[in-house]
Amino acid sequence: MALRIRPLAWGIFILPFGTALAVDNAAGADPGPAALGQVTVTAKGYAADTLETPASIVVVGRDELLRRNAANLGEAVRGLPGLAVASDGAQGQNPVVRGLKKESVVLLVDGMRLNSAQPAGAIGSFMALGLAERVEVVKGPASVLYGSGALGGAINVLLPQARFEPGMRSQLGASYDSASEGVRATGVLNVANEDHALMLGASLARIDDYRAPDGRVDDTGYDSDSFIGQYRFRIDDAQQLRMSLQQHTDKDVWYPGSAKPHPHPLVVATVVHSPEQTRTLAELGYSRKGSGDAPANLDLRVYRQEMEREIFAWSTRLRRNISETRVSFDTNGVDARADWLVHPQHLLAMGVNAWEMFASPARLLPTPNMPAPGNNPTNLLSRSDPFDDARIRALGFYVQDDMRFGDLGVVAGLRRDTVEGTAKSMANGAVTTGLDRSDDMWSGSLGAIWKLSPLLRPYVNLSRGVRAGEMRERYESSPRADGYFYVGNPQIKPEVATQFELGLKGADERFDYALSAYRSRITDYITGEDLSGTVQAISICGAANAAACKRTVNLGRVTLTGFEAHGRWQFSHAQWLNAGLSMVRGENRDLDEPLFQMPADELTLGWDGRVAARWTADVTLRLVREQDRVATVFSRGTENTTPGFVTADLGTSYTVGAHRFRVALRNLADRSYHEHLSEGVSGQEIKAPGRSLLLSYNGSF
């Protein structure tokens, strides 16, 4: 059944609830008093109250992550206001912020960028959410603090830190879900005395192909192992040294949403898979905490991250790979951040961020003499690298002033970035000139919030974000999700987004909410110029791809307009109602049509509360509207209308001491559906999991 709820009716329905940011006080936890404000480190670069920040922020705390049993970042944020998920498989689920996808959102782990090019799958899946303590999302341009790429926002996953808590403490967790027959286990150990602290953590997952209402969905299972460790040494009461290590490995990951027909009659169709992919990170850091009337805090870090990927295309007819790519995206980075209370009304923050990412993919493709139908299909692959020794270097400086004038708070920031892209060659060595480009970019933000009362805090924000082209857009030629073959362009200019946002937020012991309306204009939008069927297409994309050929260029002019709301109300002792609303409209001004792959309007409703001693229960409804605003010209008809759907989840938790046991049912009605942003051949997108029983345990010792 397609939902036909008018947006105005949604707004009228949800306004009595407002919009909550208290996601941390989640269903399944003991429902106590509402938080009067949450602390986030991502929005301002240091610990700050969300109620004093003139921006739209979402904080997903540990309790909510456990309630959702989130296996990846997409599952952690699905259904939250202003957020959606683009997926091409069970593991490949990327967060979408206000309609902007993975290229336009900076993902961080403990404040460090997860740098990579963005092929199939989800960069956000290169970590174990079972270990995460919280996820913080800043919606809207966040380039002042996080530089190039934070055009649509920033998402920061905070993992456990070594703590100076004398003795030995541990946390354990395990879960099972019936849809995938998946088993997950997580453990974190902290050992410390007054001057030394050691934290070790591990999270393991064994996931089978999940069941949708119509049957098993092939190629949705995978194995995942994640390990973290951190050592801290306290020099004195103000200074600390730290060393952090992280490693995450996924094995046998498939992306069924990437399945597409192939023009060769022997191949028939292909699907992308990754036998193994690994992220390894090492960090050395130093921190100093100030004291006195004008304290100054300092944090320095150097880090190296290696993201190794195997990206293979599997022929469904030949039952073998017809292309194989092996690549490591390696990043060396340095961050220095400081904040200084120069005056009781001025908290000054400044920083410098520098990083370099480099890669040289090794790719095997079919030789021109691939056997004709009926011949013996031997594995005839030859080396054809998309580019060689490609590097992107970034250097940024920023300054930010957090000002207080009585009940008025003002935050102003300015940043300057230089981003340089270079490569030795592209197109398997055929192109060796015109590959270098350097861009100087500036970004800024100015926001103000006025505390009229605890429940009435209007704010306004004007922000500018930037995004230089990523490595794929510059140097790689390959097929994309809209059905076209894209040719990289080393000379693409950076995108620039300017957003104006009006909002209202507030909280007391029984009620908290936030509303926001925004409009964003993106210039020099990086997109594809359609050359299909032209003589130029043959020379640029090759004869085999000339019928669906695009060249990556700065042609687009795009606007994004949206409204978000979420609220939480304690209507009775230990009984809470909550609701959330997301609406976004994207327009491709060049083609005068909706922007490609915009999330559908969505309303969430929920209740959670105490039902007996030590027992809590919760119910969540997702009402997703039909998405019939689709791109037809840009996508050549590959973006189809998606029907609306309603899903219901319910659960109950039993807590005794520091131990919690939970039983839940997801997709209670076993509804067959897929999200609009699910990749796949039009009309054949993979379905979401059906009804699933979830059993979980979490405790500390």
Please compute the mean of the pLDDT values over residues 87-112 and round it to a whole number. 90
Contact 161, 171 (CB under 8 A): no
Pairing verdict, β 495-507 and 511-530 = antiparallel
3-state DSSP assignment of residue 95: strand
pLDDT for residue 369: 56
Residue 11 has pLDDT above 70, yes or no: no
pLDDT for residue 370: 52
Q: How far out from the chain centre does Cα 584 lie?
A: 18
Chain segment 378-405, per-residue pLDDT in tens = 457 889 899 999 999 999 999 999 999 9
CA dist 498 and 445 (Å) reads: 10
Residue 13: φ, ψ to 5°: -65, -40
pLDDT for residue 684: 81
pLDDT for residue 31: 41
pLDDT band at 37 (very low <50, low <70, confident <90, very high): low
Chain segment 323-345, per-residue pLDDT in tens = 899 999 999 999 999 999 999 99
Give residue for tokens 């089978």.
208
For residue 272, the cross-strand partners are 255, 313
Please compute the mean of the pLDDT values over residues 308-325 and round it to a whole number. 90
Q: How far out from the chain centre does Cα 632 lie?
A: 27
Cβ atoms within 10 A of the Cβ of 334, count?
14
Residue 27 has pLDDT above 70, yes or no: no
Residue 682 has pLDDT above 80, yes or no: no
Please compute the mean of the pLDDT values over residues 74-78 and round it to a whole number. 90
pLDDT for residue 129: 86
Instruction: Please report, for the chain, the start and end positions of each structural domain, with discontinuous segments joined by +.
Output: 7-368+382-700
Kindly state which CATH superfamily the domain 7-368+382-700 is placed in. Answer: TonB-dependent receptor, beta-barrel domain (2.40.170.20)
CA dist 289 and 47 (Å) reads: 13
pLDDT band at 3 (very low <50, low <70, confident <90, very high): very low
Contact 153, 560 (CB under 8 A): no
More confident residue, 5 or 686: 686
Instruction: Give whichever of 115-129, 227-241, 266-280 has the largest mean pLDDT.
Output: 227-241
pLDDT for residue 36: 56
Residue 685 has pLDDT above 90, yes or no: no
pTM equals 0.91
Please compute the mean of the pLDDT values over residues 255-269 and round it to a whole number. 84
Contact 660, 505 (CB under 8 A): no
Give residue for tokens 């039952």.
319
CA angle in degrees (0–180, nearest 5) for 395-414-561: 105
Long-range (24+ apart) CB contacts under 8 A made by 11-14 are: 11/563, 11/565, 11/581, 13/579, 13/603, 14/565, 14/567, 14/579, 14/580, 14/581, 14/603
Task: Tell me what the pLDDT averaged over the chain comes to.
Answer: 89
pLDDT band at 481 (very low <50, low <70, confident <90, very high): low
CA dist 97 and 599 (Å) reads: 10
Chain segment 596-644, per-residue pLDDT in tens = 999 999 999 999 999 999 999 999 999 999 999 999 988 888 889 999 9
CA dist 77 and 157 (Å) reads: 12
In percent, the amount of the chain with pLDDT more than 90 equals 71
Burial call 566-605: b when 16+ CB within 10 Å, e when fewer? bbbbbeeeeebbbbbbbbbbbbbeebebbbbbbbbbbbbb
For residue 661, the cross-strand partners are 654, 697
Please compute the mean of the pLDDT values over residues 181-187 and round it to a whole number. 95
Give residue for tokens 């341009």.
141
pLDDT band at 373 (very low <50, low <70, confident <90, very high): very low
Q: Which of 44-58, 108-122, 552-566 has the lowest mean pLDDT?
A: 108-122
pLDDT for residue 34: 42
pLDDT band at 162 (very low <50, low <70, confident <90, very high): very high
Please compute the mean of the pLDDT values over residues 126-131 and round it to a whole number. 85
Give residue for tokens 């922007």.
595
